[in-house]
Amino acid sequence: MTAWPSNQPPERRVSAEQRQVWRERFGESDRAAGIEVTDDFERFNQIDDMFTRAFWDDSVRSKHTDGFFASYRMKAAPRRGEGFSLKDFALRNAAWAVSDMVSERAGAEGKREGFQSAIELTTQVADEQLDIEDPPAFSREIKEIAKMFGADLVGICEHDERWLYSARVDTRDFSEHENKLPDAITHVIVLGHSMDRELVDTYPSALAGVSTGLEYSHEAAIVIQLASYIRNLGYEAIPSMNDTGLVIPLAVKAGLGEYGRNQMVITPEYGPRLRFSKIFTSLPLIHDRPNDKGIKSYCNICTKCADQCPPKALPFGPPEDAPKNRSTIRGVKKWSADCEKCFSYWAKLKSDCAICMRVCPFNRDYVSWTDRLWRSLATSRFRKLALQWDRRFPNGKRQKPGDWWARLAGNFRSQ
C-alpha cells in the first residue's frame, strides 16, 4: 500500500493495459537492472519535483528555500565563515555560469532549459541522413565522440516512456503542460560526468557546490555539442539535463551502475560521484545491457549514508514502495529519501548537500590497488569484510574548505 494518494488527473493516470504493455516490453531488462515496478506505477509529474515545489507549494516554500535560490546571486549569498565565505560563494556561483546562461535564456517564455524544459538547439536536423550500415560499430563510435566532448561515462538504453515526466511546468505560473518527445525517438544516450573529488570531500560547504555547478555547466555544453552532431547526421536528438524525464533509471538501464541507498547511481568507476545527462535520439543504436555488479548487495548491508545524513532523510530498511510525500515516484520499489527533509537541510545551508555521496565507501578513484581491492571485496561474497574494512578505515572524511584553498595557494607558490 502506498501512503500518498495519486495526484494525477484521470487523463494522465496509467491504465492497466498500458502497464501490461510495459511489463511485456521492459520486464526482462527491469529484472536485469534490479528495477521493480509495481501495479501502483504512475509516471512522475515534474510539478512534484522538490525544486519545483519550493516555488508553488506553501508546505515547502519558506524564507530558507527562497534564500537558498537567491544565494546563487552574490547580493543574497550569506557570509558564514570557512566554506561559506564570499570567495566560496563567488566560486560556486561562477561554476554554474554556463548552465545558468542556458537555463535563463528562455525564462520569459516560462522555459528553464535543462531543468524544467528541454534544451532547444539552433541546429536543425539535416536533410541528408548518414547511412548507418553497422549499428554496433556506430554505437561504439558515438560513445567515443561523447567522451571526446567531455563525458566520463557513456551508455545507451532503449527509449522508455515510463520515465518521462507526465507533465512539464511553465516557470512563469507553474502551470502544467504536455511533455512529449518526437515519435521517432528510439534510444537514449546517457552521459556520466564525474565530480571533482577534492571539492566533494568538503561537503557540506558552498565550496563543495562548485563540484555540482561545474558538472552542470559541463553537461550543458556536452549535450548541446553531441546533439548538434547527431542532428548534423540527419537524425533527431533532444539534449536533456534534469528536464523531460528521470535520468536515474535510464543510467541503470544503460548499464552504467546500480541504484544505491543514497538514491544515486553507484558506478564501478567513480562510485556515486557523478551527475548524469541524456540525449533522446532516433539514431539506430545498439543498447547496453544492465547486469548485477554487486553494488546493491553491498548497500543491503551498509547504512553509512543514512547514518550520516544530518536530517535523517535516508531510509535504513530494505527498498519499499511507500512514498513519504508527493516528491517520490509512485509504484517503484526502491530506497527513497524523504526529499522534504533533505531539501529543507539544503535550504538552511544555502547550498547543496552531498554528504551521502562523500561518505559512501564506493566514493573512490580506484587509482590505488587498495581501492581496487576494496571494490573487489565489496562486490563479491566477501562484502562483509569490505564493510569491516570501511568501518576501521573509513573513506570520505570531510576535508576543511580552508585546506582546499591553502592547497590551491601552495600549487602556485611551488611553481
- List residues binding ligand SF4 (CB under 6 A): 260-262, 298-299, 302-305, 309-311, 313-314, 337, 342, 345, 353-356, 360-362
Residue 274 in contact with residue 318, Cβ under 8 Å?
no
Kindly tell me which of 62 and 186 has the beta carbon lying closer to ligand SF4.
62
Shortest spacing between CB 345 and ligand SF4, in angstroms: 4
Residue 256 half-sphere exposure toward CB, CA atoms < 13 A: 34
Which residue lies nearer to ligand SF4 by CB, 190 or 355?
355
C-alpha cell at 414: 611551488
Give the HSE-up count for residue 239: Cα atoms under 13 Å, Cβ half-sphere: 27
Distances (CA, A) of 387 to 26, 308, 394: 34, 16, 9
For ligand SF4, the closer CB: 181 or 349: 349
Q: Which residue has the cell 532547444?
A: 120
Is residue 265 within a helix (H) or strand (E), and if so which, with residue range?
Answer: strand 265-266
CB 258 to ligand SF4: min, Å: 9
- Other Cβ atoms less than 10 A from the Cβ of 381: the count is 9
Minimum CB separation from ligand SF4 for residue 236, in Å?
A: 35
Nearer to ligand SF4, 348 or 400 (CB): 348
Q: Which three cell numbers stand for residue 123?
A: 541546429
Spatial distance between the Cα atoms of 115 and 88, rounded to a whole number of angstroms: 24
Smallest gap from Cβ 299 to ligand SF4, in A, equals 3
Torsion sign over Cα 142, 144, 148, 152: positive
Residues 6+ apart with CB under 8 A from 391: none
Give the nearest distance from C-beta 265 to ligand SF4 in angstroms.
10
Whichever of 227 and 313 has its CB closer to ligand SF4, that residue is: 313
C-beta of 399: minimal distance to ligand SF4 in Å?
16
Residue with Cβ nearer ligand SF4 (309 or 332): 309
Q: Which residue's CB is nearer to ligand SF4, number 266 or number 279?
A: 266
Question: What CA–CA distance (Å, rounded) separates 83 from 209?
Answer: 10
DSSP type of residue 270: T
The answer to whether the beta carbons of residues 191 and 154 sit under 8 Å apart is yes
Q: Do 290 and 299 contact (CB within 8 A), yes or no?
A: no
Q: Enter the C-alpha cell of residue 159.
A: 527509449
Least separation in angstroms between CB 355 and ligand SF4: 4
Cell of 255: 548499464
Q: Which is nearer to ligand SF4, 287 or 293 (CB)?
A: 293
Find the shortest distance in angstroms from Cβ 272 to ligand SF4: 6
Three-class SS state of 131: coil
β-pairing, 265-266 with 187-194?
Answer: unpaired
Least distance in angstroms from the C-beta of 140 to ligand SF4: 31
Distance of CA 354 to CAs 153, 213, 282, 359, 402, Å? 20, 13, 35, 9, 18
Report the DSSP beta bridge partners of residue 10. none
**What's the closest the beta carbon of residue 259 comes to ligand SF4, in angstroms?**
9
- CB nearer to ligand SF4: give 114 or 272: 272
Nearer to ligand SF4, 245 or 361 (CB): 361
What does the alpha-carbon distance between residue 26 and residue 56 come to, in Å, rounded to a whole number? Answer: 35
